[in-house]
């Protein structure tokens, strides 16, 4: 069986794949996640995921399957990535408060050292409840915002912010698992089940 490489430092993505008894190694990409504010969110996440996959493919010799992903939050025409610090995290959560934002995840799957590749994305709509300053302060104090697009984790205490979602829950966590399974089956004859 072909070896799978997850091109991600995300423990959330690793845990999602482990749930399906998928045997894989992790190699972290060294690309800078530069977000161009003028790009479309779909193009941004697909480009970043593809750059991660290509970067990791250069670090290996065999024809392994590489899975890479990138997630952003999109609100009112603005791409929102990971907050750099507490101040930025507070500003982001205040923007998201009482609003419906979109979570986009780009997926790139490539077979290293070949031209086989597929790049796609998934979008989920997330409705936030109205957040008061005390709730935001408490959330920031537990540092859950760190390394998370939009400054929150739906799989952790950030779920208290989410009134409803339309689309894939796993996408909001960082990897649309059904979309990934469909792409793996269709293009690489690999199933998560």
Active site residues: 70
CA-CA distance, 104 to 42, in Å (whole number)? 7
The torsion angles phi and psi of 79, rounded to 5 degrees, stand at -85, 130
Of 75, 96, 80, 76, the closest CA to residue 139 belongs to 96
Is-contact 64 5, C-beta < 8 A? yes
Structure tokens at 84: 């750099």
Strands (E) in the chain, as ranges, are 4-6, 24-26, 65-75, 78-80, 100-111, 117-128, 162-166
Strands 65-75 vs 78-80: parallel, antiparallel or unpaired: antiparallel
Six-digit token string for 165: 């979602």
Based on DSSP, count helices (H) and strands (E) in the chain, helices before strands. 6, 7
């Amino acid at each position: 069986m072909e070896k799978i490489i997850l091109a991600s430092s995300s423990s959330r993505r690793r845990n999602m794949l482990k749930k399906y008894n998928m045997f894989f190694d992790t190699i972290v990409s060294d690309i800078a996640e530069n977000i161009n504010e003028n790009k479309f969110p779909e193009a941004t996440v697909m480009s970043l995921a593809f750059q991660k996959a290509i970067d990791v493919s250069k670090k290996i010799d065999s024809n392994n399957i590489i899975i890479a992903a990138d997630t952003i939050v999109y609100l009112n025409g603005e791409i929102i990535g990971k907050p750099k610090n507490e101040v930025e995290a507070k500003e982001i959560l205040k923007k998201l408060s009482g609003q419906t934002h979109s979570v986009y995840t780009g997926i790139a799957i490539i077979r290293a050292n070949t031209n086989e590749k597929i790049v796609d994305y998934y979008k989920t709509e997330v409705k936030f409840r109205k957040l008061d300053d005390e709730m935001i302060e408490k959330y920031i104090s537990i540092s859950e915002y760190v390394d998370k697009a939009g400054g929150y984790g739906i799989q952790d205490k950030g779920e208290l912010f989410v009134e409803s979602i339309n689309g894939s829950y796993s996408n909001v966590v960082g990897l649309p698992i059904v979309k990934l399974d469909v792409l793996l089956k269709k293009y690489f004859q690999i199933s998560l089940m």
